[in-house]
Amino acid sequence: MTGGPWDAVVMGCSAGGLEVLRAILPRLPTGFPLPVVVVAHTSADTGNLLAELLDHCCALPVAVAEDKAPMNGGAIHVAPPGYHLLIERDLTFALSLDAKVCNVRPAIDVLFVSAAEAFSGRLIGVLLTGANEDGRAGLASIKALGGLTIAQDPDTAVAETMPRSAIDAGVVDHVLAPSAIAGFLLANANSR
Amino acid sequence: MKDFEIQDIEVDLLVEALYRRHGYDFRNYARASLKRRVADLAPAFGCATVSELIPRVLHDPELGRQIVPKLSVPVTDMFRDPPVFLSLRRRVLPLLASYPRLNIWQAGCASGEEVYSLAILLREEGLSERAHIYATDINDVALARAEEGVFPLRLLKDFSTNYLKAGGQHSLSHYYHAQYDHARLDPSLRENITFARHNLASDGVFCEAHLILCRNVLIYFDHVLQNRALRLFHDSLVRQGFMCLGNRESLQFSEVVEDFAVTDHEHRIFRKRLLGEPTP
Ligand SMILES: C[S@@+](CC[C@H](N)C(=O)[O-])C[C@H]1O[C@@H](n2cnc3c(N)ncnc32)[C@H](O)[C@@H]1O
């Protein structure tokens, strides 16, 4: 329905993100073919907490992305708190402590831009609830390279600034409620 | 060709120019983050594109020295990841206490916060008399700051919290004087520290080390350069010497994974394996 095939899903969220991730990720069944990479704005000292929380409620394995590790289809990779997460051209993960972007590290923009380039646009970008404008530029890169872009419906978001700013910038293909996002990903992931 | 692919060529050309003209070798840095830093260089030098910067890199003898600090990322804290320092205090230093003389190499020391953290640790564990720390980096600006040992006072609150979590025996204020808006670390901490420029991409072994700390530097390197640095650490370590990497760095994807035993997995502390010692 919307092009593809797609090789990965990248997802970003900030304020209110945990609840939304819990509404989306557990609905991805074992065997979901694509790697899913998540950046959530959390404070630097939260360690592996987010990955552990998600791992408890998801069918897919959830782990913190390690530097130089390959990304796996059918697994959820979470950015380590305090580090930017990037994807290299050989589709391995890279971390950095470079300056904050949009006042945050990890920044959604940093993941999305590097992923858009590494996958040459063959990916799906999902921008969820959040109170700043991180992610808009990243979603724009994904769209410019031919990727598929989704924003959470701002009316369903705890903080609407993040999805709203991407929608206003004209870089969003589909505006969806959290309850519809997993189904949408499944339909598009399997169309390859 | 897509724009990002053209930018990739620009990065390659700039890196080649820096290397061949100024001798700074960024060719084997992890590309994705290097590309972001290179892209930021152009506006910093008043150029519209990276290509515009290249002629200046080639013809201005000073430019190499100015660019390197902007490509390096001297982000650091005192006692960053306090449990790592607690583990060094409890598990590593007691074993090092049996040596009459100790060399510690901190590679990629940035502006020195970790070096002083180590110096404090050594003093509190009664090892400073016999220990020498070599603190190295490629960033001259950061090294000069490290040697000065003066940090913005507003940072000291977090540093103090970290220090206590790392098992600190006093209050961090025991080790610094507050002056206006900055904190000057006790100069005697510096007595057994040597600050020096050393490039993990091109320089070799320079000491026999009992402990090497290299945290959050290998993430900037690709596989090839990471392996080079790890071999250099292996060659520099004494028998059963210790190596501590950053909290999110591992040997798992490197060539030396068999050459080290894991002392503390969570805090990324390894120990050089004896020849012939069975692997797990
Ligand atoms: C993020 S800082 C890490 C500071 C400190 N170790 C920490 O973890 O808090 C990375 C440092 O590595 C240094 N660096 C980068 N490339 C290097 C190289 N080839 N040789 C030595 N140091 C290097 C940078 O200049 C920078 O100061």
Residue A43's pLDDT is what? 87
What's the pLDDT score for residue B274? 85
Going edge to edge, which strands form the sheet with B182-185? B150-152, B182-185, B176-179
- Residues A165 and A44: their CA atoms lie apart, in Å, by 25
Distance B103 CA to ligand 1 centre (A): 20
Interface test with A, best of B114, B218, B219 (most A CBs within 10 A): B219
Burial classification of residue A171, based on how many CB atoms lie within 10 Å of its CB (0-12 exposed, 13-18 middle, 19 or more buried): buried
Residue B279 is predicted with a pLDDT of 62
| CB distance B252 to B221 below 8 Å | no
Residue B32 is predicted with a pLDDT of 98
A81-139 tens-digit pLDDT? 999 999 999 999 999 999 999 999 999 999 999 999 999 999 999 999 999 999 999 99
- Output the residue whose Cα is nearest ligand 1's atom 13: B108
**B46 close to B56: Cβ distance less than 8 angstroms:** no
Residue B170's CB: how many other CB atoms inside 10 A?
11
Of residues A118, A70, A48, the one with CA closest to residue B253: A70
Residue closest to B201 by CA, chosen among B28, B15, B8: B28
- What is the end-to-end Cα distance of chain B in Å, rounded? 49
Q: Calculate the CA dihedral of residues A113, A118, A123, A125 and round it to 10 degrees.
A: -20
What phi, psi does B242 have (nearest 5°)?
Answer: -105, 150
Question: Is A100 touching B (CB cutoff 8 A)?
Answer: no
pLDDT tens digits, residue range B236-280? 999 999 999 999 999 999 999 999 999 999 999 999 998 777 665
Task: Kindly state whether residue A120 falls inside one of the protein's structural domains.
Answer: yes
Question: pLDDT, tens digit, for every residue of B200-214?
Answer: 999 999 999 999 999
Q: Considering its fold, how many domains does chain A have in total?
A: 1
| Distance of CA B219 from the midpoint of ligand 1 (Å) | 9
B9 touching chain A per CB within 8 A: no
- pLDDT score recorded for residue A45: 86
**A98 shares contact with chain B (CB less than 8 Å):** yes
Q: What is the pLDDT of residues B138-164, one digit of tens each?
A: 999 999 999 999 999 999 999 999 999
pLDDT digits (tens, 9 = 90+) for A42-55: 988 888 999 999 99
Say whether residue A89 is in contact with chain B using an 8 A CB cutoff.
Answer: yes
User: How remote is the CA of residue B17 from the centroid of ligand 1, in Å?
Assistant: 22
Select the more confidently predicted residue: A158 or A190. A158
**pLDDT tens across B60-94, in order?**
999 999 999 999 988 999 999 999 999 999 999 99
The mean pLDDT of B154-183, rounded to a whole number, is 96
| Mutant choice from B215, B248, B250, B252 vs A, greatest count of A C-beta within 10 A | B248
Asked whether residue A27 is domain-assigned, the answer is yes
Q: Where does residue B276 rank: exposed (0-12), middle (13-18), buried (19+ CB within 10 A)?
A: exposed
Q: Which residues of A are known to be catalytic?
A: 14, 41, 134
Q: Write B186-192 long-range contacts (CB < 8 A, 24+).
A: B187/B149, B189/B116, B189/B119, B189/B120, B189/B123, B189/B149, B190/B119, B190/B147, B190/B149, B192/B119, B192/B122, B192/B128, B192/B131, B192/B132, B192/B133
Domain that holds residue A18: 8-189
pLDDT at B33: 97
| Ligand 1 shell residues, CB under 6 Å | A 97; B 72-76, 80, 107-108, 110, 114, 137-139, 142, 199-201, 215-217, 220, 246
Does the beta-carbon distance from A86 to B32 stay under 8 Å? yes
Residue in B71, B115, B137, B224 to alter for ligand 1 test, most ligand atoms within 8 A of Cβ: B137
Residue B15 in this model has a pLDDT that exceeds 60: yes
- Residue A154 near residue A131 (C-beta atoms within 8 A): no
> Quick one: pLDDT at residue A1?
43
pLDDT in tens, B84-124: 999 999 999 999 999 999 999 999 999 999 999 999 999 99
- How many Cβ atoms from other residues are within 10 Å of residue A167's Cβ? 20
* Chain B, nearest residue to A113 by Cα: B32
Of B1, B159, B24, whose CA–CA distance to B82 is shortest?
B159
Q: Tell me the C-alpha distance between A107 and A101, whole Å.
A: 6
A54-89, pLDDT tens digit by residue?
A: 999 999 999 999 999 999 899 999 999 999 999 999
Strand partners, B135: B106, B195
Q: Ligand 1 pocket test: which of B217, B219, B230, B232 has the largest number of ligand atoms within 8 Å of its C-beta?
A: B217
User: β-strands A174-176, A148-152: how paired?
Assistant: parallel
Q: Is B131's pLDDT higher than 50?
A: yes
List the CATH number of the domain containing A30: 3.40.50.180
User: Per-residue pLDDT for A176 more than 80?
Assistant: yes
Residue A42 lies in a domain: yes
Q: What is the rounded distance in angstroms from the CA atom of residue B37 to the CA atom of residue B72?
A: 9
Q: Do residues B60 and B96 touch, judged by C-beta distance below 8 A?
A: no
pTM for the full predicted model: 0.95
Judge whether A2 lies within some domain: no
Enumerate the residues of chain B whose CB falls inside 8 A of the CB of residue A97.
Answer: 73, 75, 216, 219
Backbone angles phi, psi at A52, to 5 degrees: -65, -45
What is residue B73's predicted lDDT score, i.e. its pLDDT? 87
Chain B 11-70, CB below 8 Å of chain A: which residues?
30-33, 36-37
A3 to A102, A114, A145, A151, B109: CA distances (angstroms): 31, 21, 12, 18, 48
Is there a domain that residue A98 lies in? yes
B-facing residues of A in 59-78 (CB < 8 A) are 64, 66-69
- Confidence class of residue A3 from pLDDT cuts 50, 70 and 90? confident
Predicted complex: ipTM over 0.85: yes
Establish if B180 touches chain A: CB-CB under 8 angstroms: no
Tell me if A3 is assigned to some domain.
no
Other residues' Cβ atoms within 10 Å of the Cβ of residue B245 = 24
**A1 belongs to a structural domain:** no
